Amino acid sequence: MSFKRCIILLADGSKHDVLSELIAQGQLPNINKELLAEGSIRRAVTVFPSTTGPAHIPYLTGCLPATCNVPGIRWFDKKLYHNFGHGSVLSFGSHGRYRSYVGVETFRINSDMRNDIYNVFEILPRSYSIFNSINRGVGKRNLTKIMRMWYWYYGHLTDRWKFVDGCGFKKAMKVAKKDIDFLFAVLPGIDEYSHMNHPKHGSTIEQYKFFDNCVGELIGQLKADNKWDDTLFFIVSDHGLSATHTHFCVNTFLEDRGIKTFYFPLIYRKDCAAASMVSGNGMTHIYFRKEEGWSGHATIEDINSMYPGLLKELLAEPAVDVIAMRDRENNIVVWTKRGRAKVKMEGDRISYFVKEQDPFGYPFDAARTTLHSSREMLSSTIDSDYPDAPYQLAHIFTSPRCGDLVVSATPGYDLRVKYENPEHRSSHGSLHKEHMIVPVISNIKLPDVPMRTVDIFPTYLKLMGYEAPENIDGINLN
C-alpha cells in the first residue's frame, strides 16, 4: 500500500521504557488502541550527541548530525576561528566561528547544514512544520517560524509546557484538515518537565497522558475526514534522559589547571587556550589551541604534550564516563575507567581494537582487532549499556566541527553548572543507553530488528512511493 500522507509527532524526550510501562498499565489508551492494535512500538538508537535539534535531523534527512556538519547544539569551528581572529569582536555575529542553537541562533541551523543534504521539506512539496527548527525549504508552510521562540520563552517563564504542547496539537489538527504530504510537529512538554524534575516525576507522567489525549483527538479527526486509512503515522523521540544528582563544570576543571576556556555565554574572552561546547549537558566538545594557533586538530599526543596528566585527571572525575580523541594515525582513541580501544571507520567497515579491557564492557576479545559493518556493530551492541557507541563516536569525528576531545558524562551527572537556569534535574546527550535508546511508534508493523532513527526517513519515503536520496546514512526497514 502507498500512503498519501505522513504525520510524525516528535514527543521530545519521551523514553522507550517509560512509554512501554505506561502503555502496559493502560495509562495511554489512545496510543494503545489507535496505533498499537494494528501497528508497533520499537526501540531505536538515536544519534550522538543525543540532544534536541541535532537529534531531529535523522527523521528529516536520513543522516546523522555529523554528516550534516552539525555535531551538537553548540560547536566551535577551529579553522574559521583561526582565520578570522580569536578574541576579537568583528561584529555582533559569530561569522560561523562558533554556534549555540539555544536561543536566536536556532535560526542558523539550516544554513549551517550541508547544502547537498536534502530534507523532507525539499522533497515533498506539501510539507508542514510545527515547533521544528530543521526546516530548510519549508517556506510559508513553517507555521511557527517566529512564534516558536515566543512559545519557548513563555513556557520557560511560566512552566506551562502543557499549554505549549496544546497549541502545537491545535496547529497540527488544523494542518491535517488540508491536503498535505507531510507534517512534522515537535512537542516539547515531556522533555521540559523531565528537565525540571525527572523522567518519572508526576508532572512528566501527566504530560505523557496529555500527549495521549491529544493523539486521540488528532486521529479521531483524521478518521472523521476519511483520511486515516491512507495516513502513515509515527510517534518518535529524539533522546532519552536520566535523573541528574550532580553537576560537574568542565570549564572550571580546565581553568583550575590554568587553561583559559571559551564557552557560552562568555564568548568574547580573549587569549583562550581551549573551548568547551556542551550539548544536552551530557556531552561536550573540547577544542585546544596549539602553539601554531587554532587551526588543525589536536591529537591525543598533542594534548598529552601540552597538558601532561590532564586526560587522566579528567577521566578520574566521577562525572566523566567516556573520553575520545584522535591519534596521529587518525584512529579514534576511546578511553573509560574500564579500559581503552581504538576505532576507525572506513566506508561501512569499523575496525575495533581493544587494549587490555573493553571500555564499554563489550564481549570483544582484547588485543585483537575486530571488523564490523556498521549494522553488525549496531546488532552486537544494542542490548548493552552503550548501544552503537563505536559507530557513533567514529562518525561524529568525521565532522570538521567536531572537538579535539569528546566527553560523555556518567548517568546521574552532567557537565554544566554555570548559567543553567532553571537548574536541570535530568540530562541527556551522552552515549549511555538511558539517553541513546528511543521509542518509535507507528500505525504499521515495523520489522523487529535493530534500527537507528536515521532509518525512519527512507522508510516513510518508500511507503509513500518516493526514493530517498543516495547520500544518507539510513536504510529502508521494509
Look at residue 158 in the predicted model and tell me its pLDDT.
83
| pLDDT tens-digit map of 110-133 | 999 999 999 999 999 999 999 999
What are the structural domain ranges in the chain?
Answer: 5-64+117-242+431-463, 331-402
| pLDDT tens-digit map of 218-239 | 999 999 999 999 999 999 999 9
Q: For residues 204-223, give the mean pLDDT.
A: 98
Contacts of 31 by beta carbon, 8 Å cutoff, 6+ apart: 19, 23, 212, 215, 235, 441
pLDDT surpassing 80 at residue 153: no
pLDDT surpassing 50 at residue 89: no
Nearest CA to 417 among 240, 263, 288? Answer: 263
The predicted model scores a pTM of 0.95
Is the CB of residue 312 less than 8 Å from the CB of residue 296? Answer: no
- How would you label 399-416 residue by residue, b for 16+ Cβ within 10 Å and e otherwise? bebbbbbbbbbbbbbbbb
Distance of CA 19 to the CA centre of its chain: 19
∠ CA 238-231-186, nearest 5°, is 25
Q: Name the grid cell of 391.
A: 559507530
Contacts of 95 by beta carbon, 8 Å cutoff, 6+ apart: 80, 84
* Total residue length of the chain: 478
Distances (CA, A) of 79 to 84, 262, 307, 342: 9, 15, 22, 26
| pLDDT tens-digit map of 421-443 | 677 889 999 999 999 999 999 99
pLDDT surpassing 90 at residue 275: yes
pLDDT surpassing 60 at residue 332: yes
Nearest CA to 16 among 435, 446, 429, 454? Answer: 435
Q: Which fold has domain 5-64+117-242+431-463?
A: Alkaline Phosphatase, subunit A (3.40.720)
Residue 382 to residue 344: CA distance in whole angstroms: 19
Is the CB of residue 313 less than 8 Å from the CB of residue 303? Answer: no
| pLDDT tens-digit map of 58-86 | 999 999 999 999 999 999 999 888 877 54
Predicted confidence band of residue 366 (pLDDT cuts 50, 70, 90):
low
pLDDT surpassing 90 at residue 13: yes
Q: What is the mean pLDDT of the chain?
A: 93
Predicted confidence band of residue 92 (pLDDT cuts 50, 70, 90):
very low
∠ CA 413-419-424, nearest 5°, is 40
